[in-house]
A and B are shown apart, each in its own frame.
Chain A
Amino acid sequence: MNQLGSVGLIAGMAFAVFGIVAGGVGGWLRSPRMLKSAERAALAFFVMITLAVVALEYLILTDDFHNAYVAGHSNRALPTYYKVAVLWAGQEGSLLFWTWLLAVYGGLAVLLNRAKNQQLMPYVIAVLMSTAAFFAAITFFAANPFAELYMTTAGGAEPFTAFDGKGLNPLLQYHSMVIHPPMLYLGYVGFVVPFAFAMAALITKQLGDNWIRITRRWTMVPWMFLGAGVLLGGRWAYSVLGWGGYWGWDPVENASLLPWLSGTAFLHSVMIQEKRGMLKVWNIVLVITTFFLCIFGTFLTRSGIVSSVHAFAQSGIGPFFAVYLGVVTFFSVSLLFMRLEFLKSENKLDSMVSRESGFLFNNWVLLAAVFAVLWGTLFPVISETVVGETVTVGAPYFNKVAIPIGLLLLLLTGVGPLFAWRKTSFQSLKRNFTVPLAIAVVVGAILAAAGVRHFYAWVSLFLATFVGVCTLQEFYKGARTRQRTGGENFFQAIYNLTMMNTRRYGGYVVHLGIVMLFVGFAGQAFQAQVKGLMLEGDELRVKDYVLRAQKISTADNPNYSSMELTLDITKNGKSLGTLTPDRRFFKASEQPTSHVAIRSGFTEDLYTVLAGQDQETGKAVVEVFVNPLVRWVWIGGFVMVFGTLLALVPSRAERQMAEIRQEQKVASVVAHAK
């Protein structure tokens, strides 16, 4: 099976190279036959890499410890669902997984564009296959998951099979951690497709909004996955790491946030090109930047140039990624400069107070955030290079720098959509913003009266109210108009309004999700924490909660041994049941982890951690946090995903246009036959 996997990788590389050549030549010669060959090469690449993935999963699931990767990341006692996740647990397997997802996206791009976009597709395939070839080559030559174990003996190197493996990193043995990497990779990898279409558009000089329209959904899907992946990582940190928070500004976390930010800028900016034929150069820059940041994020995680809890073990693949990034940047920027004359704006801006300007300012803030996070993430390396001093850039830095930018972004989220295209009158501004501002001021006053003194928390909640009302107002006004003119009931009107323009109203739902995220963030200002040593019968108090240690017990299974603490919880004298945090010691890897126990509510979470056992007294070391409003972070994430899915649904207008085009096509075929 090792050999089969290697064959899959080698054959995949060969097909990818063939796809590059067939696509490039086919596009140059405008040959339908070469295009067909390129399509088949892309599909064959998918088949071969799937073969490699199936082979590796088979080796993992059958505990084949002759394979070095399996021996290094799995073990016999590991539950099956975690064994599946071993595929992406280590450097080699995750690179193969990355390559496979690229094959999936490439295959889908080919299948969904058969007999469409014939001029673009050869070059799209060529660009996709170049990325595919790079990743397949890196996987095979520099981080091969099919390497075998050998033992040096007197007779030379002999095949060796370990009795058991080292096991999966205990920190990864958690449900949200199982799906967090696949979500992230679906995001990272997916941005290759809009990049490929952009390059194809540049090469073929088809720089109208056709490539933008084609890639809209190809951009939204990875953007959604990347955002979900980032939040899942936060959820994992919250549930497993036991420090009471969910975002630590770790370099690898930042690396996943960067393309999401630039991708958000791109998703907004393309609307200007679609509606007004403007910012064509800027959109190309944004899609190149987003793709660059995706590969850069992968590079950061694997090169070892920054210290991170997430980073894979340092390997030699960093320089290859650096070269690839250089080549991609050189190629794409050169192409852009060569095509500048075809990227002139078709219209002019009519007013500073317009939807177009709103999107520009939105882009400004998002890219300022990208710069700030990137600068902070790379600063340790820069400092060491420039002045020879190693410094750390951690959460205190990013917290100070991110606040003003984040709040600006929140403000624009509410304000931007209410500007009209081309020009917004003062009357329109007054009409749209009076009610949201009034409600926000009332809420702000109530918060201040209730004792909210933390400045940034207050501003965050004030703006969240303002933006939330601005957004809900859009649904309300549109629905009321439909009610008046069409006689629909309110909920019917909301539904039909949304289905008429899913992109717009799906976007508004995403904005509501952002508002919820910021409400959740603001709650961190009011976190309470206590730490203590407990034996059975002891109590800890935090805010209105009393936690009594009911029972301390131990357990053992082949995978880990554990210590559990059962806590009786009461709040203001009322019983709230029990929480049972535990601490596990994983036998194969000899590592401990804490599993927190959380009582979650819409207003606050009670978060308990069994941090360990005091060596001197034998007492349980317990940490308890009260985290206000945290649940709104996760709810906000779900709402954002829902909003994106809604925006992906074709609107009624789109469906009607598609039907008309189909009827015209049929009529044309019939007329031609006659």
Chain B
Amino acid sequence: MLLATAIGRSQEPAPTVASVGNKVMCTCGCVAILNQCPHQGCSTHDEIQAAIQKLIVEGKSEPEILEALTARYGKKILAAPPTTGFHLTAWVLPGVGLIFGLVVVVLIVRRLRHSAEASSVRSEQVDPKVMAAMEEEMKTSGLGTRD
């Protein structure tokens, strides 16, 4: 589900009603992207679509169209937060969280490895004949030595 429809949205060369409609919300209260408004004959949907069409005919680029819609309906019409001011944190923090988490994991792994020498001394104390018998048993069962 993490990739659901994500992969489906590739770059758009020139704005179309459909492409812009994937980036703005319908404000009728359906809580859906404009293209996915489930209300047949939704006047709000038709009004926004008409506004988009008019701006495309005027030769506006997609960012200009989104800006015009925002000016008219408010930031809430955008289906994703803008990349300015506080709203930039919406985009930045997941990446920061990912990197921070990676640093934490690497630190944990290093810390847990700190006394690896002590562990290896303990494992040498197991009777080699018993170890060999166990390895043989696991090989013939097909389970290998990974579990």
Contacts and interface: CB of A to CB of B under 8 A. Distances in A.
Chain A bound to chain B: yes
A460 B142 CA distance: 31
Contact of B98 (A383, A405, A615): A405
A436 to B, nearest CB: 16
Interface in A499-545: 500-501, 504, 517-518, 521-522, 524-527, 529
Interface residues of A, number: 101
B129 interface: no
A248 interface: yes
B81 to A, nearest CB: 5
B30 to A, nearest CB: 7
Contacts of A250: 31
Interface residues of B, number: 64
Given A387-B86, A397-B90, A478 B143 contact: yes
A376 B90 CA distance: 7
A355 interface: yes
Contacts of A307: 31
Interface string B126-145: 00000000000001111111
Contacts of A399: 5-6, 9
A485 B144 CA distance: 13
A309 B142 contact: no
A627 to B, nearest CB: 9
B145 A420 contact: yes
Contacts of B32: 243, 248, 309
A352 B111 CA distance: 11
A318 interface: no
Given A243-B35, A352-B113, A583-B40, A454 B10 contact: yes
Interface stretch (A105-113, A123-131, A361-369, A571-579): A361-369
B80 A352 contact: no
A659 interface: no
Contacts of B120: 350
A521 B4 contact: yes
Interface stretch (A24-32, A88-96, A132-140, A388-396): A388-396
A529 B109 CA distance: 49
A391 B77 CA distance: 8
Given A368-B101, A409-B2, A457-B7, A348 B114 contact: yes
A624 interface: no
A421 B113 CA distance: 14
A405 B35 CA distance: 26
Interface string A335-350: 0000000000101111
A403 B4 CA distance: 9
A521 B118 CA distance: 47
A364 B102 contact: yes
B112 A348 contact: yes
A382 to B, nearest CB: 9
A439 B31 CA distance: 43
B4 A246 contact: yes
B116 A375 contact: no
B25 interface: yes
Interface in B92-116: 93-94, 97-98, 101-102, 104-105, 108-109, 112-116
B36 A525 contact: no
Contacts of B10: 454, 525
B59 interface: no
A124 B111 CA distance: 34
Most buried by A among B1, B108, B114, B145: B1
A257 B3 CA distance: 13
Most buried by A among B18, B30, B101: B101
B13 to A, nearest CB: 14
A250 B91 CA distance: 18
Contacts of A371: 93-94, 97, 101
A241 interface: yes
Nearest to A531: B18
Nearest to B138: A481
Interface string B55-88: 0000000000000000000111111111001110
Contact of B38 (A242, A357, A419): A242
A360 B105 contact: yes
B124 interface: no
Most buried by B among A348, A350, A522: A348
B94 A372 contact: yes
Given A405-B98, A481-B140, A481-B142, A396 B119 contact: no
A241 B36 contact: yes
Contact of B109 (A349, A403, A521, A592): A349
A460 B93 CA distance: 24
B2 A405 contact: yes
Contacts of A356: 112
Given A486-B140, A504-B147, A524-B5, A390 B74 contact: yes
Most buried by A among B25, B109, B119, B142: B142
Given A348-B115, A387-B85, A485-B140, A394 B3 contact: no
B25 A392 contact: yes
A247 B1 contact: yes
B3 A456 contact: yes
Interface of A: 230-231, 234, 241-243, 245-250, 253, 257, 278, 307-309, 345, 347-352, 355-357, 360-361, 363-364, 367-369, 371-372, 375-376, 379, 383, 386-387, 389-407, 409, 417-421, 454, 456-457, 460, 477-482, 485-486, 493, 497, 500-501, 504, 517-518, 521-522, 524-527, 529, 583, 592, 594, 611-612, 615, 621
Given A250-B31, A389-B86, A407-B3, 4 more contacts: A307-B31, A393-B80, A402-B2, A409-B2
7 contacts: A230-B1, A307-B31, A347-B119, A391-B81, A394-B25, A460-B7, A481-B139
Nearest 9 A/B pairs, CB to CB: A399-B6, A612-B40, A247-B4, A406-B2, A524-B8, A349-B112, A372-B94, A521-B3, A394-B79
